[in-house]
């Protein structure tokens, strides 16, 4: 990368992450966040101020496309507790409600995932998953029993991995949602459900969703639970295939929490 894009005075360092495709380029007062083969969707996200500003995009000799984004000095990822804040709900609501983002992702990615498609994906991995946790069979049965009655919402741009490490806060209190490699068009409950179950106390669901722009109804609760189970099972399969035991164990606990969730349901039935 150095030979193709930068002179010898630039220092290129890995930026971490699971893919090994992210780097930091440093030279005197200049600093960029670089990534190989990011989605073309990144440009639209930059315009909408969802991610740090895209500076340039270049193709190198081996065919890789390198993107450079503004480096956020002293940027901090959100803590699990900070995920409860109004600004998180509002930014996710902005993303899900954006027609510009939806139209652009539909043109360039064509990743449109219905509940039936997601269920097929889970079904393909069920043999792996049954080796992991005894709750998997119960979770899978819930998906099967409820898919036909699911009132699926209009598909919007979903991030696909809204854990707290993907939320970046600048010194100037600008909030960004980064790492969009898994972006897809799907029911917004794909993002909302796992976020709610991981970070938001049940007693705060209604208020948090109101800031996001959604009323918590029985039908919406069912969507949240159904898509949360799908997302967790798919994530568990990925972690299983990559032999990441600590993360797999964390997901098992989250799956158990979702399956045994009675508090929200009881509140809605009052």
Domains, the chain = 2-71 (3.30.200), 80-269 (3.90.1200.10)
Residue 133 pLDDT greater than 80, yes or no: no
Calculate the CA 45 to chain-centre distance. Answer: 14
What confidence tens digit (pLDDT) does each residue in 75-131 have?
Answer: 899 999 999 999 999 999 999 999 999 999 999 877 899 999 999 999 999 998 988
The reply to whether 64 belongs to the active site is no
> What are the φ/ψ torsions at residue 171 (nearest 5 degrees)?
-60, -30
- Structural contact between residues 49 and 64, judged by C-beta atoms closer than 8 angstroms: no
* The two structure tokens encoding residue 24: 């930091």
Between 270 and 244, residue with greater pLDDT: 244
Q: How confident is the model at residue 2 (pLDDT cuts 50, 70, 90)?
A: very low
What confidence tens digit (pLDDT) does each residue in 145-175 have?
Answer: 999 999 999 999 999 999 999 999 999 999 9
Between 132 and 230, residue with greater pLDDT: 230
Calculate the CA 237 to chain-centre distance. Answer: 16
Find the mean pLDDT for residues 11-34: 73
Residue 29 pLDDT greater than 80, yes or no: no
* The two structure tokens encoding residue 32: 């960029």
- The number of residues making up the chain comes to 270
pTM to 2 decimal places: 0.89
b/e 247-259 (16+ beta carbons within 10 angstroms → b): ebeebbebbbebb
What confidence tens digit (pLDDT) does each residue in 187-246 have?
Answer: 999 999 999 999 999 999 999 999 999 999 999 999 999 999 999 999 999 999 999 999
Q: How confident is the model at residue 60 (pLDDT cuts 50, 70, 90)?
A: confident
* The two structure tokens encoding residue 58: 């270049």
Q: What is the rounded CA–CA span in Å between residue 20 and residue 14?
A: 7
Q: How confident is the model at residue 1 (pLDDT cuts 50, 70, 90)?
A: very low
Lowest mean pLDDT among 29-33, 55-59, 86-90: 29-33
Share of the chain above pLDDT 90, in %: 68
Catalytic residue selected from 3, 29, 161, 261: 161
């Amino acid at each position: 990368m150095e030979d193709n894009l930068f002179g010898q005075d630039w220092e290129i360092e890995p930026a971490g992450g699971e893919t090994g495709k992210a780097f930091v380029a440093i030279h005197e007062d200049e600093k960029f966040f670089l990534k190989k083969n990011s989605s073309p969707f990144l440009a639209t996200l930059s315009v909408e101020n969802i991610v740090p500003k895209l500076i340039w995009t270049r193709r190198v000799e081996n065919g890789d496309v390198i993107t450079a984004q503004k480096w956020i000095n002293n940027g901090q990822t959100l803590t699990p507790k900070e995920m409860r804040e109004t600004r998180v709900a509002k930014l996710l609501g902005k993303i899900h409600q954006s027609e510009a983002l939806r139209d652009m992702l539909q043109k360039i990615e064509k990743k449109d995932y219905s509940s039936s498609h997601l269920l097929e994906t889970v079904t393909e991995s069920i043999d792996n998953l049954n080796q992991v946790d005894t709750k998997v069979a119960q979770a899978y049965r819930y998906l099967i029993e409820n898919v036909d009655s699911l009132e699926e919402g209009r598909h919007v741009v979903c991030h696909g991995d809204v854990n707290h490490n993907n939320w970046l806060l600048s010194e100037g209190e600008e909030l960004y949602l980064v790492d969009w490699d898994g972006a897809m068009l799907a029911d917004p409950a794909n993002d909302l459900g796992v976020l709610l179950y991981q970070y938001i106390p049940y007693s705060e669901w209604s208020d948090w969703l109101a800031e996001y722009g959604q009323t918590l109804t029985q039908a919406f609760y069912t969507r949240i639970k159904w898509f949360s189970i799908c997302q967790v099972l798919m994530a568990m399969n990925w972690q299983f295939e990559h032999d990441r035991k600590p993360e797999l164990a964390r997901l098992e606990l989250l799956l158990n929490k979702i399956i045994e969730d009675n508090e929200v349901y009881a509140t809605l039935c009052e």
